[in-house]
Amino acid sequence: MTGTGSAARTTVRRSHDAGRLVRRADVTRIGVTGHRSIPAAVEPSVRSGMRRVLRGDGSLEALTSLAAGADQLFADIALASGVPVTAVIPGMDYETHLGDAATRAAYRRILGFCAARVELPTEPTHEEAYYAAGRWIVDHADRVVAVWDGRPARGPGGTGDVVAYARRNGVPVTVLWKPGVRRD
C-alpha cells in the first residue's frame, strides 16, 4: 500500500504482527470510536471537535477501523489535515459488512490513502472482531475521540464498550456529542 506525499509511511502490517506497532515518542496517536449514524443536529459539532483534536501540536497519527459514520469522518478530516491514518481492519469479512455501496466505496477510497494498515486475526463473531479492533486502537492510542451519545452499546463491542475499556485502561477519552440529542 502506498501513501501520499513524501512523508507518508508505506508499512503494511499483517495479522502475524498485528499486535506490534513501533512506538515513537515524537508522535501522538489519536484513536477514534463512534456511532455509525451521526444525527444531523450533532454532525457540525462533531466535525469541529475532530478538527480541533487533529490540530494538536507536534506529529499526530490517526487510528481508525474505517467503519461508517464516525470512523470514516475522522479519517477524512485527518487526511485533509495532513495527519497520517492507520487503518485497523477487524478480523472478519469486514468490507462486506460495512453497509451500503457508498459506505464500502468510501472505505476503499480512504484505505487507499492510509499510511499503514493493520489486519487483525480472525475472531469467532463479528461483534468480537469489532471489539478486538476497538481494543487494539485503545491499546495503541495516546488518547481516544469518542463520537458517543453516552448510552450503553447496542451490541457487544459497541462504542460504549470501547469507551469503558479506554477509561479502565487510563487512556484519556474526549467525547464529541451534543447534549440531549439521541441517535437513530
pLDDT tens figures, 115-174: 999 999 999 999 999 999 999 999 999 999 999 999 998 888 899 999 999 999 999 999
What would the mean pLDDT of 85-89 be, rounded to a whole number? 98
Q: Residue 1: pLDDT above 50? A: no
- How many percent of the chain have pLDDT more than 70? 86
pLDDT at 154: 87
What's the rounded Cα separation, in Å, for the pair 133 and 119?
A: 9
Q: Are 74 and 50 in contact (CB under 8 A)?
A: yes
Q: At what angle do helices 43-53 and 70-80 cross, to 10 degrees?
A: 50
Cell matching residue 161: 464498550
- Cell triple for residue 33? 470510536
Domains and CATH numbers, the chain: 11-15+23-175 (3.40.50.450)
- Which residues have C-beta within 8 Å of that of residue 134, sequence separation ≥ 6? 33, 65, 157, 161, 162, 165
Q: How far apart are CA 12 and CA 54, in angstroms?
A: 23
pLDDT at 145: 98
Question: Which tens digits make up the pLDDT trace of 9-64?
Answer: 333 443 334 445 555 678 999 999 999 999 999 999 999 999 999 997 789 999 99
- Stated pTM of the model: 0.86
